[in-house]
């Protein structure tokens, strides 16, 4: 089986690549534009693996996508390529419209053209798996409500609106053209190789560098946290066992307030990298990382609570997360402490100097 993964140099995409290469016999072609959040160093150990191929390409380039389909003849597509940072979407929404909407449209058309020409047995086995977010559902009002696969869409940001649009496109291509699609919507991911602009790595790295730990508003926003390697396992299970036309919500069963997440991170850092052992604090009077917390003006349209009902994927496909928030977040902090070279190259921009063509 050859799986075409778009955005496979990104945070979640690279976790999917690592899971497939390390735990299955499938082959992967990783198609990534390598924008600022794409980092080939996240999958560098596989660069010489015969089951792994990398192509630097923009999913908005129709001809190039057609060429990739013709060359690699995939039996499944896992579409993860997306602009995904809410703050960036507020400051500059155009890139989100282009990549998340037009890019998905272009990929769908390239896939449809390729799929339509397949032999009947290969057409029946083919899957287009679109990976989306719980943010398309908007804000939960009640403290006990959960997002289900039937929850109405109500996106709040340019990012979530663009992802909602792409979800609708994928389902339309299934309804109109019969393309065998599956959609998944996931909760907040965290774990190794996370780009430092996101909350968890941003807090870890700021704390290690004795910088302020900024929290929007009062930090009461609630998110359901999903360890990225658990998510990768779920995505592979969906693309290989999921039912065509279905949607599966994937969550970690770990609702936490942002302020509590930050305090937990500070506590683990106090234990694993005490301020007394951190050269960044040589001339400071701080004794605990939590003292670095500051509260900043909330961002526009900030949703208060997300929470996923993941009972369908457990019931129908037998997937449940292996990591609790406590075990996953400790692994995450440990990874950043032990992989300083990776994140320092990201912070300095050196990682962008490395571009790898298809081997």
In a domain, 123, yes or no: yes
Residues designated as active site: 134-135, 159
Number of domains in the chain: 1
Give the pLDDT means over successive 10-residue stretches in the chain (359 positions). 97 98 98 93 92 97 98 98 90 95 98 98 98 95 88 95 98 98 97 94 98 96 96 98 98 95 98 97 94 95 92 98 97 97 92 60
- In this predicted structure, what is the pLDDT of residue 6? 98
Residue 205 forms part of a structural domain: no
H or E element, residue 143? none
Cβ pair 111, 128 in contact under 8 A: yes
pLDDT at residue 352, rounded to an integer? 83
- Would you state the pLDDT for residue 299? 87
Q: How far is it between the farthest Cα atoms of the chain?
A: 70
DSSP 3-state of 17: helix
75 CB-near residues (< 8 Å, 6+ apart) = 1, 2, 3, 122, 125, 126, 127
Angle, vertex CA 318, rays to CA 313 and CA 320, nearest 5:
75
The reported pLDDT for the residue numbered 354 is: 61
Residue 259 lies in a domain: no
CATH of the domain at 180: 3.40.50.720
Whole-angstrom distance, CA of residue 110 vs CA of residue 67: 9
Compute CA distances 245 → 183, 204, 282, 358, whole Å: 8, 39, 58, 32
Domain holding 52, by residue range, is 2-193+225-253+305-322
Q: Is there a domain that residue 359 lies in?
A: no
62-72 and 104-116 helices cross at what angle (nearest 10)?
Answer: 40
Dist CA 291 CA 9 (whole Å) = 35
**Domain contains 52:** yes
What is the model's pLDDT at position 355?
Answer: 54
Does 349 map to a domain?
Answer: no
Q: Residues 264-281, buried b or exposed e (16+ Cβ, 10 A)?
A: bbbebbbeebebeebeeb
How many residues are recorded in the chain? 359
Classify residue 18: in a domain, yes or no: yes
Q: Which burial class, exposed, middle or buried, applies to 28 when counting CB atoms under 10 A from its CB (0-12, 13-18, 19+)?
A: buried
pLDDT the model gives residue 85: 83
Measured distance CA(199)–CA(85) in Å, rounded: 11
Residue 282 lies in a domain: no
């Amino acid at each position: 089986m050859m799986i075409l993964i778009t955005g496979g140099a990104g945070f979640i995409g690279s976790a999917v690549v690592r899971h497939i290469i390390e735990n299955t016999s499938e082959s992967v072609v990783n198609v990534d534009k390598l924008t600022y959040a794409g980092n080939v160093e996240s999958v560098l150990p596989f660069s010489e693996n015969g089951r792994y191929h990398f192509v630097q390409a923009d999913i908005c380039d129709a001809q190039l996508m057609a060429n990739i389909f013709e060359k690699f003849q995939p039996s499944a597509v896992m579409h993860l390529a997306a602009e995904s940072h809410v703050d960036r979407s507020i400051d500059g929404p155009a890139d989100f419209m282009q990549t998340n909407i037009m890019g998905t449209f272009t990929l769908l058309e390239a896939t449809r053209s390729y799929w339509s020409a397949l032999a009947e047995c290969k057409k029946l086995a083919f899957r287009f798996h679109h990976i989306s977010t719980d943010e398309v559902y908007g804000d939960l009002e009640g403290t006990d409500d959960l997002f289900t696969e039937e929850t109405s869409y109500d996106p709040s940001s340019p990012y979530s609106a663009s992802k909602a649009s792409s979800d609708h496109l994928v389902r339309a291509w299934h309804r109109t053209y019969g393309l065998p699609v599956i959609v998944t919507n996931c909760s907040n991911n965290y774990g190794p190789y996370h780009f430092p602009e996101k909350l968890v790595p941003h807090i870890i790295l700021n704390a290690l560098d004795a910088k302020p730990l900024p929290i929007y508003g009062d930090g009461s926003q609630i998110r359901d946290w999903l360890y990225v390697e658990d998510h990768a396992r779920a995505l592979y299970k969906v693309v290989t066992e999921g039912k065509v036309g279905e949607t599966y919500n994937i969550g970690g069963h770990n609702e936490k307030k942002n302020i509590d997440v930050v305090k937990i991170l500070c506590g683990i850092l106090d234990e694993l990298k005490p301020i007394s052992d951190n050269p960044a604090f040589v001339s400071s009077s701080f004794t605990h990382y939590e003292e670095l917390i500051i509260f900043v003006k909330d961002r526009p349209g900030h949703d208060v609570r997300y929470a996923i009902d993941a009972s369908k994927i457990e019931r129908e496909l037998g997937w449940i997360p292996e990591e609790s928030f406590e075990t996953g977040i400790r692994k995450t902090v440990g990874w950043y402490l032990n992989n300083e070279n990776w994140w320092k190259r990201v912070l300095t921009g050196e990682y962008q100097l490395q571009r790898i063509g298809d081997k």
